[in-house]
Amino acid sequence: MKNTSVSKTAMAVAIACTSVAGVASAETTLRLSTYVNEADIRYEGFAHFAELVAEKTGGSVQVEVFPSGTLHGWSEGVDSVQGGVSDISWINADNRLPCYAVTSLYPAEVSLEDQTGLDAAYAELIRDEAANVGLVPLINSNYSYDQEWWFEEPIENIGNLDGQLVRSIGPLVSMMIETWGGEPVFVAPKEVFQSAERGVVDGINMGVATYSSWKLWTVMPYMVNANLFYGNIQYMMNKDKFDALTPEEQAALTEAASETEAWLQPRYEAWVDQQVGNAVMQGGGAAVSISDDQRADLIAGIRPQWDETVNEACGMELADNVRALLANHAP
């Protein structure tokens, strides 16, 4: 997407916020960067968040939403927020956040009945680590519900990749792919279509929402619904900018984020289910689920080794707190 389009998108959200608040301009403007595009249901969530912030602050704080990774690349969230390119961004597995990097995806089957509560509790666990690098966890992306696997042809056993090149999003997924005999390949979200179409990868690990919004069903139509890990991609804010807000504005921003998560969750899940259903019904895709026993075996084959990584990165106390949280939300 060209910068002119991005400016129009941001301006549209800004105008909507201003009209809701009934004021001419904002004292503080926050640039929110997301990798999702405007066809993704989560974009509606960010627009809703922007409207709530304007409403709750009486227009003193305005959020501009920049979609499709236009402000920075997939791995540049921390640099972007620290350097002022954006004020709120998704944060990937960054070594400056060692515990977050290895627990934002964790090999565990969880119940999503109280996903917003689970995600909020996880954010609290990594809040101090984020503060150490000038960040404040603000809002999550409902990530756990849809992170799955796709291949060009049906695959008999996801635990036997037999040398296939599979797109990875981070260290845990790379470890899974290698353990199962495949080779991980990093590809940014908006580059996945071309990579799949040209045979750069044989398989893809990605969220269904992102996968569908980038029209990937046409190039990798066979989905394996595995539900192998808890995932929480946090959108974090520049701490100095957050601290510069009034206490009332800080509370409004936090409340708007929490309310947006609750507002988005059922819409997100329904939209994801619809994307899968449409792909299958139209004959362009297929979706299969692994058995409970196979899921348990795959997780058991990964978790002990991954726990060693988590213990080292987080320290035992924080690592145990993360594991206890996930255990409390087990199915």
* Domain limits, the chain: 3-93+231-271, 145-230+273-312
- Per-residue pLDDT 10s for the chain (331 aa) are 434 444 444 544 544 444 444 444 689 999 999 999 998 899 999 999 999 999 999 999 999 999 999 999 989 999 999 999 999 999 999 999 999 999 999 999 999 889 999 999 999 999 999 999 999 999 998 766 777 898 988 888 999 999 999 999 888 999 999 999 999 999 887 788 888 888 899 999 988 878 887 788 888 899 898 989 898 989 999 999 999 999 999 999 999 999 999 999 999 888 888 888 887 777 677 888 899 999 999 999 999 999 999 999 999 999 999 999 999 999 9
Q: What whole-number distance in Å separates Cα of residue 267 and Cα of residue 296?
A: 29
CATH of domain 145-230+273-312: 3.40.190.170
Residue 236: helix, strand or coil by DSSP? strand
Task: Report the top-level CATH class of 3-93+231-271.
Answer: alpha beta
Instruction: Answer yes or no: are the C-beta atoms of 202 and 166 closer than 8 Å.
Output: yes
Q: For residue 223, count CB atoms less than 10 angstroms from its CB and return exposed for 0-12, middle for 13-18, buried for 19 or more.
A: buried
The two tokens of residue 160 are 């036997």
The two tokens of residue 180 are 């199962």
Residue 267: helix, strand or coil by DSSP? helix
Q: What whole-number distance in Å separates Cα of residue 1 and Cα of residue 37?
A: 9
Q: Is the pTM of this model over 0.95?
A: no
